[in-house]
Structure 1
Amino acid sequence: MRKIYLSLLLISLLSGLLVAWQWRSHLATAALEQQDPALIDIIHSLEKEDASLENTIATLRSQIEAIQKERSQGKGRLAQLQQEIEALKLAAGLTPVTGPGIIVTLDDNIAGAQAAKNSSPTTYKPEDYIIHDKNVLYLVNEIKAAGAEAIAVNGQRVVTSTDIRCVGTVILVNSTRLAPPYEVQAIGNPDVLEAAVQRSVDFSFLKSRDFPVKVTKSLHLTLPAYKGGFSQDYVRLVKAGGQQ
């Protein structure tokens, strides 16, 4: 029982001290307002400035969030544009590619040329026993028509501007001199491409003349990118509204 009385007494004393401290604090504040009202004005002014700064910070945070959101959307659009550029480069032959396809090898008929020269030297024509530019060109066109997605001749990537022509006894592809044997690599459906080559008139003609030509399927081909340029001296871009 004595302990309870002591506890009640202690609580009463603490409560009295707390009330007394609050009353003195109130009196001190009131006295301060009466003695130095300028100081109170400064305090109120600082409180207003603090509130204004809080509003400014909130506004800046909103602006930062808006900028970050805009940048995020911009990065997404930039990534989309990059994907479109890569797709265009792929279609234009400007990137290395890999995939299944076929390899067609065309070579001069050296054995036939030697036999013809020995048997009929007066009627022998060496041009009848070599691969010409038209043989390569016709074969490339057949492979394109069969759905080849990428073609290269002796490491020269075939693109829309590729020229396959003959200068003397030399075949040029992309203005690069090539020498036999000529290896035409094409990426696409191997079965379809092989069938297209086998039934092509030019390939059949070369085989009938004993040229060492062959076509083989491959599950993994790697073709290089086109390294040349694109000449556009006369073409102009049509702008919106049909203006040039």
Structure 2
Amino acid sequence: MSKAKHGIVSITVVCVILGTIIGIQFKTVRSQITAQDIQRVSELSIKLNNAVAENETLKQSLEEKEEKIEEYENFIAEDNEELSLIVEENNKLRMFAGLTDVSGRGVSVTINDSPKAGQSGDGVSSDAFLVHAEDILSILNELNVAGAEAIAINGQRIVSTSAVRCAGSVVNVNDVKIAAPFVITAIGDPDILEAALVFPGGVVDSLKPWGIEILIKKLETVEIPAYQQQFVFKEAKNVSTEG
């Protein structure tokens, strides 16, 4: 065998060996990364489940304490007209603030992305076919103007401090991320609430060109949960009426 052929064979053998070594190292690193990712996901999943379980426990404990407080209030106010009036006023204020579960006649409004979501063309962005926070806010505004007494979005009670904003591909309500379909429930006169949404040129008409799907149902019973977050006042204080 000539020196040239011998050199080519040697180089070929070296390349094959190097390729094999690189392939083995790549597979090893890849398997390590995969194992680390799986372990990380598993750890996060356990933490999430623990947080959800703890939240449910705290929520149940809070509900039990609130029921106990209500029992004490009613017991104390039974034979005291003045205290009875105070308890009644307190219950009204809690309802007005959205801190109690309520039910009554109303509507449910289901909003879903257009079937064209994810598509684009003719100078139209694919985002135009998605439900945005602005669309939800427009519906909330019309319902409020029409006299809605209580509103929730996917189970999140809307109160004076509630914020509805886009958070990537989902919508953030009360710092809770929710995704389509969005179900808005509202208590009030069903006929008036529906009319406020479907009148010509209204919010429903404005979303139709984009294929946004809206289904409105008038219901004899709508159940809306209480606001679950805490009210925190850092700057606002009661104005003293003394002096």
Same fold, judged at TM 0.5 (above)? yes
TM-score band, normalised by shorter chain: 0.5 to 0.7
Cα displacement string for residues 215-244 of structure 1 (whole angstroms, at most 9, x for unaligned residues): 1100111100011122211111111236xx
Q: 1:74 to 1:126 in 2, by over 3 A?
A: same
Question: Partners in 1 of 2:208 and 2:219 — Cα distance?
Answer: 21
Cα contact 2:77–2:87 (8 A) shared by 1 = no
Question: Partners in 2 of 1:79 and 1:205 — Cα distance?
Answer: 49
Higher helix share: 1
Say whether 1:94 aligns with 2:104: no
The match for 1:197 is 197
Structure 2 residue ranges without an equivalent (≥5) = 1-75
Moved over 3 A (4+): 71-74
The match for 2:239 is 238
Displacement of 1:73: 9.7
Displacement of 1:72: 9.0
List aligned pairs for 1:4-43, cutoff 5 A: none
Displacement of 1:155: 0.3
Displacement of 1:124: 5.8
Question: Partners in 1 of 2:203 and 2:194 — Cα distance?
Answer: 14
Say whether 1:77 aligns with 2:82: yes
Q: 1:73 to 1:178 in 2, by over 3 A?
A: closer
Say whether 1:218 aligns with 2:222: no
The match for 1:131 is 131
The match for 1:140 is 140
Question: Partners in 2 of 1:73 and 1:198 — Cα distance?
Answer: 48
My pick for the range that moved more, 197-206 or 84-93, is 197-206
Q: State percent identity of aligned pairs.
A: 34
One of 112, 120, 124 as aligned partner of 1:107:
112
SS at match of 1:171: strand
Q: 1:184 to 1:240 in 2, by over 3 A?
A: same
SS at match of 2:80: helix
Cα contact 2:157–2:225 (8 A) shared by 1 = yes
The match for 2:175 is 175
Equivalent residues, number: 167
Displacement of 1:192: 0.3
CA RMSD of superposed structures (Å): 2.1
TM-score (norm 1): 0.63
Q: 1:237 to 1:113 in 2, by over 3 A?
A: closer
Displacement of 1:123: 4.7
Question: Partners in 2 of 1:113 and 1:178 — Cα distance?
Answer: 17
SS at match of 1:113: coil
SS at match of 2:160: coil
Displacement of 1:74: 7.1
Cα displacement string for residues 31-68 of structure 1 (whole angstroms, at most 9, x for unaligned residues): xxxxxxxxxxxxxxxxxxxxxxxxxxxxxxxxxxxxxx
The match for 1:149 is 149
Cα contact 2:109–2:184 (8 A) shared by 1 = yes
Rg larger in structure: 1
Displacement of 1:126: 2.1
